[in-house]
Amino acid sequence: MTTHDGAPILPGATIGILGGGQLGRMTAMAARSMGYDVHVLDPDPDCSAKPVASRVVTARFDDPSAAIDLAKGCDVVTLEIEQIAPTVMEAVAQHAPLRPGAAPIWIIQDRVRQKDWLAEHAFPVGEFRHAESADDVKAAVQALGACIVKAAHGGYDGRGQAHVTQAADAAKAWEAVGARRSVVEQRLDLALEFSVLVARRADGQMAVYPPARNHHSSGVLAWSVLPADVPKEVARTGAEIALGIAEGLEIVGLLAVELFVTTDGRVLVNELAPRPHNTYHASERACATSQFEQLVRAVCGLPLGAPTLVSAGAIANLLGDLWLADAPPDVAGALDVATARVHLYGKRSAREGRKMGHLSAIGQSGPEALGRALDAYDAFRPGACPAIERPRG
């Protein structure tokens, strides 16, 4: 709608968001609190962001005409999901600044291109191979040993992935990911998983958040805690890697970098996300500037907020399984835990594995905050639902 020639996009302007899920919802809430109007594009007319957006364009993420309709009414457009068709990104950019831009999204949205870019730019990654057939998967397993096959496009929270330990099972793994172009990654012995979030403006100003320690169950994030209990050198290495990638990709907005620490001490990049990230939901309470406000600041050309910790914080994800049990979740019980809050995403129906919300808690230390978040989870969950695994030690 408007070209700003480097000038800040001030409150009163309209921010467009490609995607109206929970990340779009929480971004819209932050933007609204700062005085911006918000429009979203999403295939679901009743998407999570609907109650906090003044307009929802109901369309798929491969519909250029709908994207133009959105962009014409916006001063800047950002996103909450990277699986956006290139034609849509091109259409948006003709009518409003798209932040992050099409070039980094095109790289990140394809796991093969993403791994190639990281390796070509000397960022540390585990051994991997490309696969366009079951025979390619077989050759990768023969060369690398046990592997994880990941479809190049789509798939999240463990979907679109298959583990394979021997070459004889390559065809089965290939079929499990939909017999489509994939990256085959050597399986690693992991000591822990963590992530680092970077914000970057168009002029190159950057801010890096403290690392978050993460725990997954069945491929889905179960809990995350800020700050991560990792050695200072590991935290420093993670920050340097994340800042380097954000600079190299010329990200405008947010970049979350998921990282592994192997049992032999290596820090390796797992995956990138050019948007707000589940592992930094605790930033809303633990940091001086939440990731959602920071995204608004970055894409609007405002000064970046301090990413510093004001408290330790933790979150526990709430999946649809909790609503499918015989008894309802106990919201009051969760809120009876010290510092606990319930964050629900307004989704109309629950299904297994669907992210319906999260619990957050703060404390004097990461272990205290995480303990409270998991205590709240235990109070919230119906008795038939299993507890989340707690950290050892």
335 is in an annotated binding site: no
178 is in an annotated binding site: no
Q: Which two tokens stand for residue 78?
A: 């950002």
Angle ∠(352,358,361) on CA atoms, nearest 5: 150
188 is in an annotated binding site: yes
278 is in an annotated binding site: no
* Residue whose pair of structure tokens reads 């008795």 in the numeric block: 383
115 is in an annotated binding site: no
161 is in an annotated binding site: yes
238 is in an annotated binding site: no
Q: Which two tokens stand for residue 96?
A: 């409003």
Whether residue 128 contacts residue 183, with contact meaning beta carbons closer than 8 Å, is answered with: yes
94 is in an annotated binding site: no
159 is in an annotated binding site: yes
20 is in an annotated binding site: no
371 is in an annotated binding site: no
Query: What 3-state class would DSSP assign to 48?
Result: coil
142 is in an annotated binding site: no
DSSP-derived letter for residue 204 is S
Using CA atoms, how far residue 96 sits from 69, 100, 261, 312, in Å, is 11, 12, 40, 38
For the beta carbon of residue 341, count every other beta carbon within 10 angstroms: 17
Using CA atoms, how far residue 84 sits from 35, 59, 247, in Å, is 27, 12, 22
156 is in an annotated binding site: yes
160 is in an annotated binding site: yes
User: What's the number of CA atoms in the CB half-sphere (13 Å) around residue 183?
Assistant: 22
> Is residue 65 exposed (0-12), middle (13-18) or buried (19+ Cβ within 10 Å)?
exposed
193 is in an annotated binding site: yes
26-51: buried (b, 16+ CB within 10 Å) or exposed (e) per residue?
Answer: bbbbbbbeeebbbbbbbeeeebbbbe
Residues at the binding site are: 111, 150, 155-161, 185-188, 193, 216, 270-271
Residues at the binding site for ATP are: 111, 150, 155-161, 185-188, 193, 216, 270-271
